[in-house]
Amino acid sequence: MTKPKYKIGDLVSITEKITVHLYDLIASPGDVGVVSKVHGMDEDFYLLWGVDYYVLINGIEFLFFEDELELYKEKINKTSEEVKFVLLKK
């Protein structure tokens, strides 16, 4: 049995549009969410269907297959090499 590609807490980016017509909800490619559940770890279920991932996006949990997700890669501003702190005064 192959291990799941993602684990609970992973930050993932959506690669496929998902529409839940019953609630008029849409998750679009590029949306970012956190894996909240990994379903299908039961060996028999896994061998037939694969692993499903519940991903929390803006407070709503969506269900995705592994190939509809990718690890989120934060875009880094290469022109900034330091972190600046701002002190806010009352």
The residue among 86 and 52 whose pLDDT is bigger is: 52
**Beta-bridge partners for 39:** 52
- Give per-residue pLDDT as tens, 5-42: 899 999 999 998 888 887 788 889 999 999 999 876 55
- Whether 18 is covered by a domain: the verdict is yes
- Ramachandran assignment for 61, one of left (phi > 0), alpha (psi -120 to 50 degrees), beta (any other): beta
pLDDT on residue 14: 93
- Whether 22 is covered by a domain: the verdict is yes
- Whether 84 is covered by a domain: the verdict is no
Average pLDDT on 70-87 reads 59
- Whether 43 is covered by a domain: the verdict is yes
- Domain residue limits at 47: 11-71
- Whether 30 is covered by a domain: the verdict is yes
Tell me the residue type at 47. L
pTM reported for the whole predicted model: 0.69
- Whether 19 is covered by a domain: the verdict is yes
- Give per-residue pLDDT as tens, 42-67: 555 554 566 789 999 988 899 898 88
In the numeric block, which tokens belong to residue 61?
Answer: 């949990």
The number of folded domains in the chain is: 1
CATH code of the domain covering residue 30: 2.30.30
- Whether 34 is covered by a domain: the verdict is yes
The residue among 61 and 79 whose pLDDT is bigger is: 61
DSSP E strand boundaries for the chain = 11-14, 18-20, 25-27, 32-39, 52-57, 60-65, 69-71
- Whether 83 is covered by a domain: the verdict is no
